[in-house]
Structures are given as C-alpha cells and as structure tokens.
Amino acid sequence: MRHIAKTFARGIHPPEHKEGTRSLAIRRLPFAPELIVPLLQHTGAPAAPCVNDGQEVVRGEPIAKAGGFVSVPMHAPVTGVVTAIERRLSAKGDMVRSIVIRTYMGADQEVLYSAPQDIDTMPVHELIRAVQDTGVVGLGGAAFPTHVKLAVPEGKRIDTVIVNGCECEPYLTTDHRVMLEYADDIHVGIQIVQKAVGAERTVIATEDNKLDAAEALWTSPRIAPTTSIAVLKTHYPQGAEKMITKVVLDREVPSGGLPAEVGVAVFNVATLAQLGELLPKRQGLIERVVTITGPGVAHPGNYMVALGTPLSFALKHAGLRADATEVIFGGPMMGPAVADPDVPITKGITGILVLTEAETSKQPTKVYPCIKCGRCVEACPIHLNPSRLGLLAKSGLYETMETDFHLSDCFECGCCTYVCPAHIPLVQQFRVAKQLNRQRKAAQS
C-alpha cells in the first residue's frame, strides 16, 4: 500500500459529520408496497419499456431496453405486477416516464434472472456490451453509463484506472461501507474495467478518515498484483475526477477535457462493487446502498434500497422526526433539496440528508454585495474566478461566463459558496447560467 500524505491546493475541509453512520453495517430496507422505476435514471437517452401494464414481473427481470448506446436497460427491483407506465415526478423535479410496480409482499423476492458468464474469456467488445446489459451507471452520483466510459475513444490510450473511494462530501458513508463490506466485489469490478480499457494498473484512492476501508481492500484475497492503494489526506472536493487525477498521478486534465485525455479512467467504488457482483452472474442493477442520515432521522444508517422505492417510505423506516424541515439528495455541498417526498430513489442517489429547524434556521437568508475579499478565488480547486463569474451572472452575461471565464469547467463543488462571507449563492447562479446556455445552444441548433 502506498501512503500519499499530500493533497491538492485550495478546496476546503468542512466538518465531516460522518460519525453517525460510518460504523453502521449495511442493512436492507424492506420492500415498499409500490415502486416507481423512472426510465431515465442516467445521463443519455431514456430506456424503452418492454413490459405492459398488468404484466407480472420477477425481481431482476429486464423491464426496459436501452434507448441507444448512451443508455442502459432497467430491471424489475421487485417481484410484482406492473400497474402503470406513465409520467411521474423524478428527483430532479421533472416528469419522467416510469414503470410503476405493485410489490407482491408475500413473494420471497429472490433474484431469479441469472445466467453465469465467463468474463475472463470474453472479448472486449462483448464485455462492454455485457456491462451495458447490467444497467450499471456511475453510482457516485454522476449516473453516467459505465459501458460508455469503457469504450475508449479512437486515438486515446488508457494506462491507469483510478478507483474513487474518497467520498469527500460530509455526512455520506455509502462508499466507506461498500469498501469495507464488498472489497472482493470491488476487485472483480477492477479486473473487468482494467481489461475493458486496456490499462496496465489500477490505483484505489481513498482518504485518511477511512483507513479501515483501505485495509479491507488491501487484505482482500481478490486483489491483483497490478492494483495499489493510495490513502490521501482528507480534503474536499478530492472525489472530483479532475482533482483525484491530479493528486494521485500528478496529471492535469485539460480545460473542457476528460481524464481519458491524460490516459486515465476513473470509476467510483460502489459502481465497481456492483459490476463485480452482477456481471459474472449476468444480473441487472436493482438496488444500491444509500446513507440516510442527519439530525432529522431517528435511525440513521447505510441501507440497501430497492431502486424505485419512494423517498417517503425510506424516510419512514429511518424514523423521520417531526421537526425535520429539509431533505437533500446526496451530501450538503452538492446535493439538491427535494421538494416532493414521493419521488423514487434512483441509481445516482448516494445519500439522503435530513435536516431540522435547528440547522436550517442557521442558514443565511440575507445576501450582501461582493466585498472582493477573494476567498472564493482562493477556494476554487480549478482556479476559476467565482467572484467575477458571480458578477457576470448578476448582469445576465451567461455567454461571456462560458466563452471568457470557463464556466463549463466548474463542476459545482460549492467551495466558493461555502466560503463567501457575503452569502452569495455562487454555485446556484452557475447552475442556472449553465442551464440557460444549454437551452440557448439547443434553440440555435
């Protein structure tokens, strides 16, 4: 094992708040009476349903086909009956076509769709197609289809796989528990992606607040001689692809570029754990580990949740307290607040953070003018000028933000907002600006 004491310059180290769940083993949440499976839970095109209203489905059975190369299929998270295929509210606040399944509560909920396959002898193109068939996407929150990342662009060469086990957002312990409890599956997942991208080596990167996880991965009998482990100094936002590539390999991902341009492919630990478990059995992704935590729940924990479980059901089982005021999907730095408790839990949701009046009342409500203190500039890990970007956003100069000030490089880590003494919601302004730029480009094309 390698120990890297260094980290990157800038960024922040907010209070971790991980003590409530980090030592709690993963527990299975019961199956909800009704599950809602949105046909778009990932970046790319929605899946196309291959079941009908009224049809019985078995847990693990494919219920929707991938809608193109940048898309993945969906599998039944429970044994039950399809009661509707209709538009339902998603976690992002838009209406998404979804398959609604009424759970057969008496069913044993065994996964019956399984046909072992030999991943060692599979040619690379078949391996990539088999990965797509699992429906696995980036489970660290990005939800980008994993098989697309495995298809190395023409002219590019990947020499190193980085496995992202940093989990630097406060409160979240999903990846920490997965590393501890599914170390063997992670190593199988590593073998799959290393073969698919043709890399010679893999570095698993975690932080020094998860030394037990690093030990579990290091002592796993499945570890390959080409895999090493880097324990990084705990720092936010180290889990971002650009930052982890810089810290682990000292390679700079160019502006507007991807890690592939510097010979790197980055995968989240939970993604590889699922891939390592599902692919040899030819099964689909039907559940994921979610940290449910915060002062607003009586029973915080790391829960194995069937995809499509309504948020309200999960919160009830985690002991939602009467004084809960705000629910956030993900961590407090990057996670969006949730407006409706009946939205389903989907592939990209890493955590559910529940706050009470005591925390939300401390959040600043008054925004002051920029005092040009420069703290946001010092905090931005990719050397943007958030202060200038904020002023441009205020003036509605969204296009200039992109053309002259690299808005598209901003990965919305929220460090600038966190340090701003004037409480300017910088990252929120940048999200709006990006959205408006996207709409403008779509209208022009």
Q: Which is nearer to ligand SF4, 307 or 376 (CB)?
A: 376
Comparing CB distances to ligand SF4, the nearer of 289 and 407 is 407
In terms of CB distance, is 244 or 272 closer to ligand SF4?
A: 244
CB 333 within 8 Å of CB 237: yes
In sequence order, what E strands does 131-283 have?
A: 160-165, 201-207, 227-232, 264-268
CB 74 within 8 A of CB 80: no
Minimum CB separation from ligand SF4 for residue 8, in Å? 12
Whether residue 51 contacts residue 82, with contact meaning beta carbons closer than 8 Å, is answered with yes
Residues 6+ apart with CB under 8 A from 51: 57, 63, 64, 82, 85, 99
**Closest approach of Cβ 55 to ligand SF4, in Å?**
45
Q: Does 163 bind ligand SF4 (CB under 6 A)?
A: no
Q: Binding pattern to ligand SF4, positions 386-425, x when CB under 6 A?
A: xx--x-------------------xxxxxxx--xxxx-x-
Backbone angles phi, psi at 239, to 5 degrees: -75, -10
Nearest to 136 by CA among 353, 320, 288: 288
CB of 415 to ligand SF4, least distance (A): 4
C-beta of 261 vs 412, nearer to ligand SF4: 412
**Residue 247 sits in the site that holds ligand SF4 (CB under 6 A):** no
Distance of closest approach, residue 46 Cβ to ligand SF4, in angstroms: 28
Q: Does 306 bind ligand SF4 (CB under 6 A)?
A: no
Q: Which residue of 40, 172, 190, 380 would you call a contact of ligand SF4, by CB under 6 A?
A: 380
Least Å distance, CB 202 to ligand SF4, is 27
Residue 379 interacts with ligand SF4 (CB under 6 A): yes or no: yes
Q: What is the chain's Cα-based Rg?
A: 21
* DSSP character string of 335-394: PPBPS-TTPBP-TT--EEEEEEHHHHTTS-----------HHHHH-TT---HHHHHHHHH
Q: Pick the closer one to ligand SF4 by CB: 294 or 386.
A: 386
Inter-residue contact 131 to 146 (CB < 8 Å): yes
State the minimum distance, in angstroms, from the CB of residue 439 to ligand SF4: 20
Could you say whether residue 179 binds ligand SF4 (CB under 6 A)? no
Which letter, b or e, does each residue of 45-54 get, where b requires 16 or more Cβ atoms within 10 Å of its Cβ? bbbebebeee
Q: How far apart are CA 65 and CA 63, in angstroms?
A: 7
Q: Is 245 in the site for ligand SF4 (CB under 6 A)?
A: no
Q: Does 433 bind ligand SF4 (CB under 6 A)?
A: no
- Cβ atoms of residues 103 and 309 within 8 Å: no
Q: Which of residues 337-376 bind ligand SF4 (CB under 6 A)?
A: 370-376
Site of interaction with ligand SF4 (CB under 6 A): 370-376, 379-380, 382, 384, 386-387, 390, 410-416, 419-422, 424, 426-427, 430
